């Protein structure tokens, strides 16, 4: 995550988004248990980010984020999926 300067990572398995990881949770868990540095990443993954459509409004997308959800996945017309973070939404609203 640090190498690519990203704070959220969705994980795919067999073509479906199945898990996610964000830097806030990763940081908290590493502070609580430094031994996680050597654990498989699967042991600290979170539920997948919500999937929204590219036609959804910013307000509809923002409703899908919350304390535990720092990003959403947006499916575009061509079936490409992009991640949209809370930071992205703040930029779109302001």
Q: Residue 60 belongs to a domain with what CATH number?
A: 3.10.580.10
Domain membership of residue 45 (yes or no) is yes
Q: Per-residue pLDDT tens for 6-48? A: 788 999 999 899 999 988 888 999 999 999 999 998 888 999 9
- Let me know if residue 40 belongs to a domain: yes
DSSP for residue 59: H
**Is residue 85, in this structure, part of any structural domain at all?**
yes
What are the phi and psi torsion angles at 5 (to 5°)? 55, 50
Domain, as residue range, for 30: 8-93
pTM (2 d.p.): 0.81
**1: in domain:** no
Q: Residue 72 burial (CB < 10 Å; 0-12/13-18/19+)?
A: buried
Number of domains in the chain: 1
For residue 78, is it within any domain? yes
Residue 2 lies in a domain: no
CB 76 within 8 A of CB 51: no
Give the three-class secondary structure for 11.
Answer: strand
Lookup: tokens for 91 = 């930029």
């Amino acid at each position: 995550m640090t190498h690519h300067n990203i704070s959220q990572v969705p994980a795919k398995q067999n073509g479906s988004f199945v898990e996610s990881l964000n830097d806030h949770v990763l940081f908290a868990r590493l502070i609580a248990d430094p031994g996680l540095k050597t654990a498989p990443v699967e042991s600290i993954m979170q539920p997948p980010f919500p999937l929204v459509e590219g036609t959804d409004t910013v307000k509809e997308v923002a409703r899908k984020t919350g304390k535990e959800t720092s990003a959403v996945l947006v499916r575009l017309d061509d079936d490409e999926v992009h991640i949209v973070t809370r930071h992205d939404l703040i930029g779109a609203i302001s």
